[in-house]
């Protein structure tokens, strides 16, 4: 079977485009993406789709501008919409990839395109597997690429990789650009492609085939794991009772799965193991995992939240007209100050004098609420908003002359 016929049979049998009227092709200009475009263009009427093209000019080579212009001219001749963006800033493979996919999503949103198609093929699967092994990636990231997966913020949008069953030797583009930098070994991917894989294949000619098989087996194993932790998938908060009922092996993967919700949060192996230890032991915990996120564990659950998400309150000396609210009794005179907790703050609660910190610990007040504002009058603590009123406030309950501070969380 000729490569194009194999391609057409693959996409038709898999129903890749049945739900998509418009398709965006990620086009670099290399043999991979040019083959994909040529095959899709040839099959567009059979598949009943319209094509658009997105190209990123990374501005890393002298030929980049010329290639962009030639691609633009070719698409104009074919009547195919052509969208391009120029990468700016310090170059790295990761930054460039993030830039590309952000641009693809932007084009899809503005042009109402529901499918992104990329030219990843079988050789890419092997390279990615070995790269991730070298970098020490976790098991779930060694499962290879999916032929179809959701993409972007639109739940109906998909990323489709129709060439995963093809080897690079099967790609047939007659016109394409050869990136000379692919022969250089500055980047890890090039070293894997040009040096490591050939060396391993010399030891075992079936090395790439074995890696692909191993990736498939890992995928099957991870499917079993995923099916076993479905109840936790996508949860914003993990309940400790349910978590602790699972085996330690599944707890490991539940936490892994939970962390995938935070794309910008990098968790090293040691930090991951520390989190597992903290979750399994008694006690509450609050820790800044990065400049962006906190890890929080209280009596009932654990979760990750964006830093700076402290509870905010609005206060008034007159009742709020709408909605629910709470109140604290305070003296009729004296300067009211609402402030943060300070080291050494002391309170009187139920006749007991103690440090506020000790009160929080003894009463298992959640870590998040321990940062709630204090209400003071003439430097005396009358309460902690949404936590407790002190004896000073309670003693005013039946006083004829007093003030009442009304408060509620900001909407």
Q: What does the radius of gyration of the chain's CA atoms come to, in whole angstroms?
A: 30
Q: Cα–Cα distance between 307 and 317 in angstroms, integer?
A: 31
Asked whether 266 and 290 are in contact (CB, 8 A), the reply is yes
From the CB of residue 276, how many other CB atoms can be counted at a distance below 10 Å? 16
225: part of which helix (H) or strand (E)?
A: helix 207-228
- Phi/psi of residue 323, each to 5°? 80, 170
Residue 131: other Cβ atoms inside 10 A = 17
Question: 227-256 burial, b if ≥16 CB within 10 A, otherwise e?
Answer: eebeebeeeeebebeebeebeeeebbbbbb
The set of residues, in sequence order, having a beta carbon less than 8 Å from that of 230 and lying 6+ positions away, is none
Place of tokens 């050869």: 178
For residue 386, give Cα distances in angstroms to 309, 325, 365, 370.
16, 10, 11, 10
Binding-site sequence positions for ATP: 28-33
Report the SS3 class of residue 360: helix
**Residue where the block lists tokens 């500055």:** 186
Phi, psi of 338 (to 5 degrees): -110, 115
- Residue 219 is encoded by which pair of tokens? 């995928």
Binding site per annotation, positions: 28-33
Distance CA 40, CA 36 (A): 6
């Amino acid at each position: 079977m000729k490569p194009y016929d194999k391609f057409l049979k693959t996409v038709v049998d898999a129903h890749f485009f049945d739900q998509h009227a418009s398709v965006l092709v990620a086009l670099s200009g290399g043999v991979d993406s040019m083959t994909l475009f040529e095959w899709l263009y040839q099959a567009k009427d059979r598949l009943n789709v319209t094509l658009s093209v997105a190209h990123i000019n990374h501005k890393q080579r002298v030929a980049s501008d010329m290639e962009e212009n030639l691609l633009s001219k070719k698409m104009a001749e074919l009547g195919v919409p052509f969208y391009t963006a120029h990468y700016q800033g310090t170059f790295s493979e990761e930054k460039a990839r993030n830039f590309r996919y952000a641009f693809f999503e932007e084009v899809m949103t503005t042009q109402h395109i529901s499918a992104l198609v990329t030219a990843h093929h079988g050789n890419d699967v092997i390279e990615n597997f070995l790269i991730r092994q070298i970098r020490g990636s976790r098991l779930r990231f060694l499962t290879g690429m999916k032929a179809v997966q959701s993409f972007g913020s639109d739940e109906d949008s998909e990323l489709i990789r129709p060439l995963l069953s093809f080897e690079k030797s099967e790609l047939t583009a007659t016109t394409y650009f050869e990136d000379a930098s692919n022969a250089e070994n500055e980047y890890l991917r090039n070293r894997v492609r040009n040096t490591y894989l050939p060396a391993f294949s010399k030891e075992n000619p079936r090395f790439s085939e074995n890696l692909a098989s191993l990736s498939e087996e890992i995928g099957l194993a991870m499917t079993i794991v995923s099916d076993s932790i479905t109840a936790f998938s996508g949860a914003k908060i993990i309940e400790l009772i349910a978590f602790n009922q699972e085996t330690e092996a599944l707890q490991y993967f539940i936490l892994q799965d939970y962390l995938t919700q935070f794309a910008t949060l990098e968790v090293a192996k040691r930090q991951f193991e520390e989190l597992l230890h903290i979750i399994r032991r008694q006690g509450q915990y609050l820790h800044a995992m990065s400049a962006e996120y906190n890890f929080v564990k209280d009596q009932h659950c654990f979760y990750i939240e964006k830093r700076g998400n402290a509870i905010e309150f609005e206060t008034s000396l007159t009742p709020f007209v709408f909605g629910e609210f709470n109140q604290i009794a305070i003296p009729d005179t004296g300067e009211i100050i609402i402030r943060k907790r300070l080291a050494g703050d002391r309170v009187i609660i139920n006749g007991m004098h103690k440090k506020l910190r000790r009160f929080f610990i003894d009463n298992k007040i959640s870590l998040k609420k321990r940062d709630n504002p204090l209400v003071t009058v003439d430097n005396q603590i009358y309460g902690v908003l949404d936590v407790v009123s002190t004896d000073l406030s309670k003693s005013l309950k039946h006083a004829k002359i007093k003030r009442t501070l009304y408060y509620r969380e900001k909407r």
